Amino acid sequence: MRKLLLCFSLVIGTLITAAQTTVSGTITDSETGEALIGATVLEKGTNNGSITDITGSFSLSVSSGDATLVVSYVGYETIEVGANSDLSSLTLQSGSIGLQEVMVIASFGIDRKTPVAMANVRADVIEAKIGSQEFPEILKSTPGVFATKEGGGFGDGRINIRGFNSENVAVLINGIPVNDMENGRIFWSNWAGLTDATSAMQVQRGLGASKVAVPSIGGTINIVSKASDRQKGGYAQVNTGNDAYRKAGFQVSTGLTENGWAVTLSASKTEGDGYVDGTEFLGHSYFANIAKQINDSHEVTFTAVGAKQRHGQRQNQQTLAVFDAAPQGIKYNADWGIRDGQVVNVEDNFYHKPQMSLNHYWTISDGTELSTAAYASWGTGGGGGTGGNWQIGPNNTIPKKGGPYGPTDIDLLVETNVANPSGESLAWQRASRNDHNWFGVLSTLNHELSSNLTLMAGLDLRRYVGKHFYEVTDLLGGEYIVNNDDVNNPNRVLTVGDKYNYNYDGQVGWQGAFGQVEYTSGDLSVFGTLSVSNTSYSQVERFNTVGNSEDETDKINFLGFQVKGGANYNLNSNHNVFANVGFFSKAPFYRNVFLSRTSNNFNEEAENEKILSFEVGYGYRESNLTLNVNAYRTQWKDRSFVRSQTQNNIQFFANILGVDAVHQGIEVDAVYDVYRNLKLTGMLSVQDNIWQNDIENVFIEDEDGNQIGSAISVYSDALKVGDAAQTTASLGITYELFDGFSLGADYVYFNNLYASFDPIGRTDESDRNQAWKAPAVGILDVNLTYHFDIAGLDSSIFGNVYNVGNVEYVADANDGGGHDAASAQVFYALGVNWNVGLKLRF
Amino acid sequence: MKNLNFKSYLLAIATILLAFSCSDPLGDDIDKINEDLSISKEIVYTLTDDDYDTADDVCSCSGFGNFSSDDGVRQGVPAVLAAVFPALGDGSSALVTYDFFNGSSPDIRGDQQVFTVTAEEYTELGFGFGNFSDLAEDVPVYADFKVGEGSDGDYLDVTHEFFNNGTTTTVTTRVVWVVSNNAWVWAEPLPDASYADFFNESPPDFSFEDEGEDNIPFWLKATKIFAVAGDQALIQWNWDNGPGTSQSVALYIFDGTNWNEYGNVAQITQQSLNFGHDGTTWVPDNTIKYTMGPDDWTAIAAASLNSNPGGSASVTQFGNFDLTLWTSEQIFEQITNRLATIFPNPEAGQKYLITYAVWRPGSGSDQLNIIWDGTSYSEITE
């Protein structure tokens, strides 16, 4: 009987497939599970094809069931499948080696599985729109993000997520945390080499999915660089833009050779004058990835990335009245000068931080993998500035050429130095140097306990030494300076390269362990993570210990931990909901333990900051519409607040608790395919970020508990958090006019930006005014992308015009004493600026 | 048809977006700031001849090309400043120099009063011996007592006992009201012998009034050899006035080398007064405006090393007050202590406007309005 049925079904099956038929299926990324949108499904040997929609699904009418389908997608290996085979879950493997493994180390979230609010920025979007922008700005259409260029110098941009600044936003590059080990900040100019070498970027908001203990309170920015391409080839690229912007770069890949090697190298040179006066820049970026597939179980990749750059900065903000009066308008910059007719960038930044990592992926058995990254980076550089007395102009101001808004008259400073009979420089240039060495190992074991349960555990070890000092860089016509900063060497005669002011090393050791359990069953996935870390700080000080040229303190240890969990449930193929909750006890920053650059006194009772966060989210996926809604509340308690008083040569500290803030909000984002060639994207983010509490009459106490010094009070209750716009929205269009040619526009709106202020500075009980609220702003960027053939080479042109309306607006402001527009100190954002690039692929 | 929808759709959205992005978000704020902004400058100015006429239109007090009263200065100078510097506004300050008329030279063309001092009067005034011994000091005391204030041209001839060199004689002493001193001053007559001995004149008078006036300085220099700069002498001389002899007086002032007649050197002096603009008008204002400089920061850092070590370190580092490390009370304390050092011994009522750099975070500057009341500094709140 059974045999008869089988026979029968085979006959029917053959009959069916013999005729013209419609087949359909879904195509996803083999590692992340993400739908591949726009992948091509072609009936082999014909022009008959279709492309996948927003859910990765396709439908194609084929001539016969015996047809072969060729499935291809940019960046992935092409596959061929029979039209009559099971097409319901086809996967394509990325064309790069080691990319998927890195994504696991980096805890890249997977749609409808990882219970975290996230947004992906695809490599092709970065390629089309980055132009002269930097990473923070490419994210400005992401909910919860507020990104600005600050002073406007190359790489000086910053990003806040959910109102938290970079101290509380984790940045991972290939899974390796790169927030500064002493102050938690990010310097995007260090990573200029990555904009061309990014293969995937994901912003996870809130606590994020990273297992490693990183300061993800506002969110995590996860950047994964290109791995070695399986295919041989490369590209050459040139860009030009406003204010003499020029960039030239290339990339070559050897492809996967017979003996298992693959090398990808890229390099570029970027230079320009900068939109803002006095922000000339020059950077050389490089990226290298070498992969070796040893055998089926072992793979090793080596990555090196870096950008050696120097750029002029606009360091000092000005009032609105000054920008209005200055002939240069919003481009006005007080921080550069002229010497012998040449521009001198008095305030500049120069840095080179090569980061290298050696990754080893070991497939121990089916279901067990060990990924280890050993990394090192050496940073050298710092920021230029003034030394001595530059205020020899009228009314104790710095002398300027040609009126009060002209460049600094460095010639006058040189003249004054030269005229000094003793040969001593009265004014000079210096740099504050912040070199560092940083070594670390990050190892993750991924083990499938059962088909539903995965365990990940690992170690995160880091050793960092930051070397900080001032050095003389230019004596401006004088011969030397005399300095007394070193107690063991009074009246030192210094020349170019000598150190002064302070000279200390900040040493940070970090030992962390983490574990995550993930349970997936059908439509439900649940995860729980625990990470614990010990941070040890010690300082080496070289100027202020009598009789000792180098004084090293003991290590002072702080324990921190993070526990978080979440769940995602797919109600059906369209709807999913998720929730996550977490608690983070964050070890204090270095500066709250060692308060002084010139003394080894330490504050060992510094308190951890505590963060409690929870979030719920909803997702809707349909063939031409993606919609996400999420709501969150993050409570930040005991922001670092340290005061000290010295009595009888002993320094006493008070660690004052109670400076709290709550950041909460709702975020909505959507992508809508109106037609096949017209796409709309939109985003709305409404935040409510407020400081809570006053602190009244706290005293510093001596060893007997007696109060010393005056009362310490902070009046910050109900003040809205400044520095980031609390309401943002965006609308984007992409329209493909004809094959390969598309136009796009992105409109970004922000409001409720309160000027920056430190709540600790609010010591006047009668002053309860909110900081100045900058006016609401909407900015339009337009983009043109054209893919075409030049002499058989696959080429592209990318054109971008940013701030088409040339709106003059403020996105960076510091609150003034009057809490009003007149007293605010601001940077104007850039007016209209543009960039055009040509890329030839071979 | 489908294409038309595309394009109009796009056009509509693009237009809307473009329109929204062509706004000027800060325009209103900047307009308001510029309205409120005044041109604030510090100037030094000396009145010109025309300026006194400008002032006179307002105060009717400077028609002669100078001021003769402080009230006149306070009324007239603001009018001059408003006319010469109409653009300067709130916060401006001006150090104005002007000619001041200190009063007419003394003469004896006015009222003469004659008195004889009675025994009771000697006693009442404390002259227990019933005589005056120092003509320059004592007789003006009697004049104050007897007449009080005089006016230009008034003089008294007082008959009294004069004790000199052991003998008491009855003499008549003349005191003249000197407007510029606002006091009675003894008119010292040229000794009769001096006319012949020193001036080669006989009889004991000058041929013309001017001759006396011009030549007496030489006699003063020869006879008052212990004079010091600032000493005054009111001298009376005789001169031939047709059929008779007249007398005249003149006030001389010693400059350390020579005796100069009042009218030539001291009648019109140059004075200066500080004015400040209060937003509406110029008013006399002695506020010292000062901006904290490198030396001040060094001193403050040293002074606050123990009381605010974090703040002290940041002052040394950056030359400003970091508002997250300094409370307003601490800043006031440090600034006023510094004022006591750089402006020692101020007069009661001295005002200061101190500008100092701050770090908010973000660089900026604040100002403190301080007044010294003679005992302590306090902040002036509006």
- What is the DSSP annotation of A757-806? --GGG---TT--PPPPEEPPEEEEEEEEEEEEEETTEEEEEEEEEESTT-
pLDDT band for B10, please (50, 70, 90 cuts): low
CA distance B225 to A352: 84
Average pLDDT over residues B71-100: 92
Q: Report pLDDT digits (tens) over A771-805.
A: 999 999 999 999 999 999 988 899 999 999 999 99
Nearest-neighbour CA in chain A from B229: distance (Å): 38
pLDDT digits (tens, 9 = 90+) for A629-663: 999 999 999 988 888 888 777 888 888 888 999 99
CB atoms inside a 10 Å sphere around CB A102? 27
- Secondary structure, 3-state, A368-431: EEEEEEEEEEEEEEEEEEEEECCCCCHHHCCCECCCCCCCEEHHHHHHHHHCCCCCECCEEEEE
Residue A567 makes CB contacts below 8 A (sequence gap 6+) with A115, A524, A525, A526, A527, A578, A579, A580
CA–CA distance, A160 with A162 (Å, rounded to integer):
7
Two structure tokens written together for A283: 């950077």
The CA radius of gyration of chain A, in Å to the nearest whole number, is: 29
Q: Do B33 and A814 touch (CB under 8 A)?
A: no
Asked if pLDDT for residue A5 goes beyond 60, the answer is no
Averaged pLDDT, B325-342: 91
A contacts of B330 (beta carbons < 8 Å): 710
Predicted confidence at residue B382, as pLDDT, reads 64
Q: Do the interacting molecules here have an ipTM over 0.85?
A: no
When scoring A396, A677, A754 by the number of chain B Cβ atoms within 10 A, the one with the most, hence best to mutate, is A396
Helix locations, chain B, DSSP H: 2-21, 27-36, 49-59, 70-84, 119-124, 135-146, 192-197, 209-223, 262-265, 294-303, 309-318, 328-342
A511 at B interface, C-beta within 8 A = no
| Residues B153-165: tens digit of each pLDDT | 899 999 999 999 9
Local confidence band at A419 (pLDDT 50, 70, 90 cut-offs) = very high
pLDDT at B21: 57
Chain A contact probe: residue of B2, B4, B29, B330 with most A CBs at under 10 A = B29
Which pLDDT does position A213 carry in this prediction?
79
Q: Is there a contact between A821 and B20 if contact means CB atoms under 8 Å apart? A: no
Q: For residue B239, which amino acid is it?
A: W
CATH 2.170.130.10 domain locations along chain A: 97-225
- Say what percent of chain A tops pLDDT 70: 96
CA of A675, closest CA in chain B: separation in Å? 9
Is residue A667 a contact partner of residue A685, using CB atoms and an 8 Å limit?
yes
Which pLDDT does position A15 carry in this prediction? Answer: 44
Which range scores top for mean pLDDT: A67-76, A432-441, A737-746, B110-119?
Answer: A432-441
| B-contacting residues in A 727-746 (Cβ below 8 Å) | 731, 733, 735, 745
Alpha-carbon Rg for chain B in angstroms: 35
- In this structure, what is the dihedral angle of CA atoms B303, B305, B311, B314, given to the nearest 10 degrees? 90
Does residue A484 sit at the B interface (CB-CB below 8 Å)?
no
> Which residues in chain B are contacts of A752 at CB distance < 8 A?
none
Distance from CA of A796 to the nearest CA of B (A): 24
Q: Is the domain covering A97-225 a CATH 2.170.130.10 domain?
A: yes
Q: In terms of C-beta distances under 8 Å and separation of at least 24 residues, what long-range contacts does B341-346 make, across chains too? A: B341/B299, B342/B290, B342/B296, B343/B288, B346/B372
Chain region(s) in chain A for CATH 2.60.40.1120: 2-93
pLDDT given for residue A728 in this prediction: 97
For A158-280, where are the E strands, in sequence order? 158-161, 169-173, 176-177, 198-205, 219-225, 228-229, 233-241, 245-253, 261-272
Q: Which residues of B touch A808 (CB under 8 A)?
A: 24-26
- For residue B349, the tally of other CB atoms under 10 A from its CB is 10
Shortest CA distance from B33: residue in chain A: A822
Q: Which of A285, A97, A125 is nearest to A202 (CA)?
A: A125
Task: Pick the residue of A541, A696, A757 with the most B CBs within 10 A to test the interface with B by mutation.
Answer: A757
Site from B20, B28, B37, B355 to mutate, A interface, most A CB atoms within 10 angstroms: B20
Q: Are A441 and A467 in contact (CB under 8 A)?
A: no
Which residues in B82-203 belong to E strands, given as ranges?
Answer: 93-101, 112-116, 155-164, 167-178, 183-186, 188-189
Q: What are phi and psi of A702, to 5 degrees?
A: -85, -170
- Interchain contact, B13 vs A647, CB within 8 Å: no
Task: For residue B328, list chain A residues with Cβ-Cβ distance below 8 A.
Answer: 763-764
Statement: residue A18 has pLDDT above 50: no
Q: How are beta strands A337-339 and A408-409 bridged, if at all?
A: parallel
Q: Please tell me the total number of residues recorded for chain A in this structure.
A: 842
A640-659 residues touching B, CB cutoff 8 A: 642-647, 651
How far are the Cα atoms of A39, A72, A81, A92 from residue A67, in angstroms, in the given order? 18, 16, 9, 19
Which residues does chain B have within 8 Å of residue A598's beta carbon, measured at their own beta carbons? Answer: 313
Q: State the Cα–Cα distance between residues A99 and A227, nearest whole angstrom.
A: 6
Using CA atoms, how far residue B136 sits from A394, B163, B173, B235, in Å, is 54, 13, 10, 12
Q: Using one digit for the tens of pLDDT, what is the confidence trace for A809-835? A: 999 999 998 999 999 999 999 999 999
Q: Decide if pLDDT at A6 tops 90.
A: no
Of B300, B297, B278, the C-alpha closest to B287 is B278
Report how far residue B170's alpha carbon sits from residue B163's, in angstroms, rounded to the nearest whole number: 9
pLDDT score, position A329: 95
pLDDT at residue A115, as a whole number: 93
What pLDDT is stored for residue A10 in this prediction? 44
Q: What is the mean pLDDT of chain A?
A: 90
Report d(CA A119, CA A221) in Å as an integer: 10
- Closest by CA to A461, choosing from A509, A391, A389, A412, is A509
The count of other CB atoms within 10 Å of the CB of residue B312 is 21
3-state secondary structure (DSSP) of residue A636:
strand
Q: Among B26, B36, B364, select the one facing A816 at the smallest CB separation.
A: B364
User: Which of B26, B326, B382 to substitute to test the interface with A, most A CBs within 10 Å?
Assistant: B26
Rounded mean pLDDT of A73-97?
Answer: 79
CATH architecture of structural domain A228-313+325-564+575-841: Beta Barrel (2.40)
> CA–CA separation, A334 vs A316, rounded Å?
7
Give the per-residue pLDDT at A32.
Answer: 65
- Residue A762 above 70 pLDDT? yes
Share of chain A above pLDDT 90, in %: 66
- Nearest CA to B133 out of B89, B160, B163, B155 is that of B163
Residue numbers in B near A754 (CB within 8 A): none
Q: Which amino acid would we find at residue B54?
A: T
Looking at residue B9, what is its pLDDT? Answer: 64
> What are the backbone angles phi and psi of residue A483, rounded to the nearest 5°?
-135, 145
Top-level class of domain A2-93:
mainly beta
Contact check, Cβ <8 Å, A646/B305: yes
Distance CA A379, CA A646 (A): 35
The answer to whether the CB atoms of B363 and A598 lie below 8 A apart is no
Encoded tokens for B351: 């005002």
Q: What tens digit of pLDDT does each residue of B361-375 get?
A: 777 888 888 999 888
The Cα A427–Cα A478 span in angstroms is 8
Residue contact B291–A822, C-beta within 8 A: no
Q: Is the peptide bond before B203 cis (omega within 30 degrees of 0)?
A: yes
Cross-chain CB nearest to B18 (options A644, A775, A805)? A805
Q: Which residue of A has its CA nearest to B289?
A: A395
Closest residue by Cα to residue A815 from A746, A749, A767: A767
| CA distance linking residue A299 with residue A260, whole number of Å | 9
B336-357 tens-digit pLDDT: 999 999 999 888 889 999 999 9
The neighbouring-strand residues paired with B102 are none
Among B6, B305, B361, select the one facing A758 at the smallest CB separation: B361
Helix axes B328-342, B294-303, angle to 10 degrees: 120
d(CA A100, CA A92): 12
The whole-angstrom distance between A645's CA and the closest CA on chain B is 6
pLDDT score of B272: 93
Residue A810 forms contact with B (CB below 8 Å): yes
Tokens of A758: 């430190």
pLDDT at A7: 37
Chain A residue with CA closest to B6: the answer is A678
Q: What is the pLDDT of residues B271-287, one digit of tens each?
A: 999 999 988 899 998 88
pLDDT of residue B183: 93
Question: How many CA atoms within 13 Å lie on the side-chain side of A317?
Answer: 28
Q: Is the pLDDT of residue A359 over 80?
A: yes
Whole-number Å distance between alpha carbons of A795 and A787: 6
Number of neighbours of residue A559 by Cβ within 10 angstroms: 11
For residue A596, which residues of chain B lie inside 8 Å, CB to CB? Answer: 309-310, 313
Q: B112: helix, coil or strand?
A: strand
